[in-house]
Amino acid sequence: MSLKHIDLLICCGSGCISAGALKIKERFHEVLREHKATNEVNIIETGCMGPCDYGPVMVIYPEGIFYQHVTPEDVEEIVSEHFIKGRPVTRLMLQNEEKTFSIQKDVPFYQKQIKVALENCGYINPESLDEYIATGGYEALGKVLTEMSPQDVINEMKASGLRGRGGGGFPTYIKWQMVHDNKGAEKYIICNADEGDPGAFMDRSILEGDPHRILEGMMIGAYAMGANMGFFYIRAEYPLAIKRIKMAIAQAKEMGLMGENIFDSGFCFDAEVRTGAGAFVCGEETALIHSIEGERGNPTPKPPYPAVQGLWGMPTVVNNVETFGNIPTIFRKGAKWFASMGTEKSPGTKVFALTGDVRNTGLVEVPMGTTLRELIFDVGGGMIGDHKFKAVQLGGPSGGCLTVEHLDTGVDYESLKERGSMMGSGGVIVMNEEKCMVNVAKFFMDFCVEESCGKCSPCRIGLKQMLAILERITSGFGREGDIEELQRLGESISKLSLCGLGQTAPNPVLSTIRYFRDEYEAHIRDRSCATKVCKDLMHYQIDKDRCIGCSLCARNCPVKCITGSREEKYIIHQVDCIKCGNCYDVCPVKAIEKEPGMHPDTVAHRSELGKAVNRYEDL
């Protein structure tokens, strides 16, 4: 007999775990034992609830009360006040200047969201098959297997208009149709969970928070194309996701939802988990297939497409996690319902990962076509502090930067592409006015150079050249013509590279040149970084009027380039300064200032020494 009258849902997504969610869960068990109330509360670990920045977060039903930034010290109060006396703890609720948001669905972060792939994330216990079934789970599979032919399934997918959520936006039904029409003896379906785009973590969250949904989506696809074997390729950096999907497979087998003759339809299916070992390029489908085969994860030219010749030479479909996540709902609610959301060419919803200088970092799902302004300012809560919005990088290292003038652009595959960016997997990195765009572009380029597999020369050699030019520019040795050279290289690398990594790697550079050309020019011509991020293009200066002559800066300077006395005050010898920032940090009266531009002394010194200090001279 259950006396439980409270469901306590603790977000145990990776973000909240890293903020201490598991300690809080332990503490709840302890405190409930002390109060002899363990039989009144269900403690449920859920997947990611979305607002990582508020973590650790939790929701308490039946009321749906939302608590944020909970610490182990708060647990006693939650139990004694809320659970026992029915008085929710207001100070743990989200508050702004005007009001307190007690109920989860009222929190502004959730308001403009429509959840399809994330429907159950943060709502059910991901380790419970029963809870997934309670939300309508496996109904779609049952319906598909008992009432529809494989071609019916593909037709329904075509009507839904679902496009691959991994980045390319290729219509999902076309891949399925190709494999369906191919009369191979063995066919395979692969779930691509090698999520590596910096700033994207939706695949991990869905796998961790609702693994059965992905399994169901995969099985519907397998039935449509005639595959009896599936693989989850998950990156090794995601141990929890690996554990959860393995558990889901075991549960589905035990329940008879997987294995032989599912739903008495004659359809048989089995799936296995395969893991990577740290290689970004394995997100590319041909590289991924080679990795499963036990090879180096090098991509190979297409055609032949995996749909014709994939895993072990057999017809294979590779779909992304989020793509599979949409499928059960499409078959439960109908293709028409799905297509009614979003835009004409990009129907449905898309999950975005908000990161960077935005207030509410986390995972959100909105209809396609939602504007960047709504995404960043309404759902995302705007910029942190008093900072201004400067740019947003969409699509990770393959995408491009957009600016203030694009804020009213609707987010869909075509609109972003037109403006030199791309959807990618849905990473949204928001940047404030303190970020140097040349430096950001260099950073993305550095990532691509490191992750290039080295197989084709445009990517291996070309990206390295681009990085060298960017380093030259940011260290004050930029030359006239560098911008044009970057553009020329970027365009040829895009055209000539073998796989998506190389084809899209120049995008961050090309898009920042397009929208922030003046910053590049200032770096090259004026030897100045206005944001004072590039160390060679800024300098520190001591304000004589404010300096009190305490000598703290001089004593903390690692290269002894600050001299002076209490009477004469202190000065920095610019030529020797390594810009470590120690003096800036220790000055008790904030007399040291960061100034944009290379100091004239340094300019003179460099031109005097010429080649001796310019390691880029021969480049």
* Minimum separation from the CB atom of position 226 to another protein (A): 22
Neighbour count for residue 250 (Cβ, 10 Å)? 12
* Minimum separation from the CB atom of position 145 to another protein (A): 9
Which CB atom, from 61 or from 377, has the smaller least distance to another protein? 61
* Minimum separation from the CB atom of position 364 to another protein (A): 10
| Count helices and strands in the chain by DSSP H and E runs | 27, 20
* Minimum separation from the CB atom of position 495 to another protein (A): 25
* Minimum separation from the CB atom of position 2 to another protein (A): 6
- Convert 174-235 into a string of H (helix), E (strand) and C (coil): HHHHHHHHCCCCCCEEEEEECCCCCCCCHHHHHHHHCHHHHHHHHHHHHHHHCCCEEEEEEC
* Minimum separation from the CB atom of position 38 to another protein (A): 14
Which CB atom, from 296 or from 488, has the smaller least distance to another protein? 296
For residue 136, give the DSSP letter.
T
Which CB atom, from 197 or from 412, has the smaller least distance to another protein? 197
Here the tokens at position 512 are 């920042």
* Minimum separation from the CB atom of position 361 to another protein (A): 4
Measured distance CA(205)–CA(102) in Å, rounded: 25
Dihedral pair phi/psi, residue 594, rounded to 5°: -90, 130
Single-letter amino acid, residue 427: G
Which CB atom, from 454 or from 481, has the smaller least distance to another protein? 454
Which CB atom, from 279 or from 473, has the smaller least distance to another protein? 279
CA angle (368 as vertex; 365, 371 as ends), nearest 5: 90
Nearest residue to 240 via CA among 270, 213, 201: 201
Q: Quickly tell me which residue has 């909970």 as its tokens.
A: 70
Contact 144, 220 (CB under 8 A): yes
For residue 347, give the DSSP letter.
B
Which CB atom, from 162 or from 453, has the smaller least distance to another protein? 453
Which CB atom, from 162 or from 501, has the smaller least distance to another protein? 501
* Minimum separation from the CB atom of position 508 to another protein (A): 9
Here the tokens at position 494 are 């895009």
* Minimum separation from the CB atom of position 294 to another protein (A): 4
Which CB atom, from 239 or from 313, has the smaller least distance to another protein? 239
What is the pairing mode between strands 94-95 and 65-67? Answer: unpaired
* Minimum separation from the CB atom of position 443 to another protein (A): 5
SS3 of residue 314 by DSSP: coil
Which CB atom, from 35 or from 569, has the smaller least distance to another protein? 35
SS3 of residue 571 by DSSP: strand
* Minimum separation from the CB atom of position 181 to another protein (A): 27
Which CB atom, from 343 or from 355, has the smaller least distance to another protein? 355
Which CB atom, from 441 or from 587, has the smaller least distance to another protein? 441
* Minimum separation from the CB atom of position 563 to another protein (A): 25
Which CB atom, from 16 or from 547, has the smaller least distance to another protein? 16
What is the pairing mode between strands 58-61 and 427-432? Answer: unpaired
Q: Quickly tell me which residue has 């439980």 as its tokens.
A: 4
Measured distance CA(215)–CA(320) in Å, rounded: 12
Name the helix (H) or strand (E) containing 42. strand 41-46
Nearest residue to 25 via CA among 58, 65, 68, 63: 58
What is the pairing mode between strands 427-432 and 349-356? Answer: parallel
Measured distance CA(212)–CA(204) in Å, rounded: 14
* Minimum separation from the CB atom of position 256 to another protein (A): 4
Which CB atom, from 276 or from 306, has the smaller least distance to another protein? 276
For the range 198-201, what are the long-range contacts, defined as Cβ-Cβ under 8 Å and sequence gap of 24 or more?
198/396, 198/397, 198/427, 198/429, 198/447, 199/353, 199/355, 199/356, 199/393, 199/396, 199/427, 199/428, 199/429, 200/353, 200/396, 200/424, 200/425, 200/426, 200/427, 201/14, 201/353, 201/363
| End-to-end CA, the chain | 78
